Homo-oligomer: A and B are copies of this chain.
Amino acid sequence: MAGVNKPDPARRSERSRQAILQAARELVSEVGYAKVSIEAIAARAGVGKQTIYRWWRSKGAVVFDSFLALSEGGDASDGDGGSVVLPDTGDIEADLKTVMRATVAEFADPGFEAPIRALNLEIVNDPELAAQYRDKLAAPVDEAKKARLRSAQRAGQIAADADLDLALELLYAPLYQRWLLRSGPLTPQYADALVDLALKALRP
């Protein structure tokens, strides 16, 4: 549990940890990731700077953990949780369009967009954070998506021998790229077109 950045010998103050993560979250949404400083996080959390440096490697690690904690806190109560489930109406095309339109909508919401962009930025030049991101945040979602694709395979809507990782990239990478580089409009129509094209490629 929690994004491990340094060894955690249990002597750690949970109260401080929570205060730091909350302060980080608040500050990122108030002033933007770039303008958040460790000093400010410590001050807001009512914590010595050393307490942050003791447990995290960098500002990026703190902010990352603060998001992580949020996503972990948000799921069901059944133990480890985080079991994402996607709609499965039997119609893979319709389901994918639903999901991808939702993603497009998320990217359009500045309240979502800004922190995620910051997170991605941090991930780009910190391989260790990137690994954590994949394992803790991306993996569960990707797994759910692949589960839906597998279901489509069983239904004969997608080639049985398709590489699902690649399929996922085919669907989502264009969207991700447009968003990150702002290289084109992100519309529901775009999402639909993407699904159509990708499904054509994946057809049996």
Residues of A within 8 A of B (CB): 34, 117-118, 120-121, 123-125, 127, 130-131, 133-134, 138, 163, 165-166, 169-170, 172-174, 176-178, 180-184, 193-194, 197-198, 200-203
Contact = CB atoms under 8 A, between A and B. Distances in A.
A122 B69 CA distance: 27
Contacts of A34: 125
Interface-centre pick from A121, A138, A177, A181 (highest chain B CB count, 10 A) = A181
A5 to B, nearest CB: 18
Count the copies: 4
Could you say which of A194, A200, A201, A203 has the most chain B C-beta atoms within 10 Å of its C-beta?
A201
Given A169-B177, A169-B178, A169-B184, 10 more contacts: A120-B124, A120-B181, A123-B181, A131-B182, A138-B183, A166-B194, A166-B197, A173-B173, A173-B176, A176-B177
A120 B121 CA distance: 9
A173 B177 contact: yes
B130 A181 contact: yes
Contacts of A124: 117, 120-121, 124, 180-181
Nearest to A122: B121
A179 to B, nearest CB: 10
A131 B203 CA distance: 36
A197 B170 contact: yes
B125 A117 contact: yes
Contact of A174 (B120, B133, B173, B202): B173
10 contacts: A120-B181, A123-B181, A124-B124, A124-B180, A165-B184, A169-B173, A170-B174, A170-B197, A174-B174, A177-B177
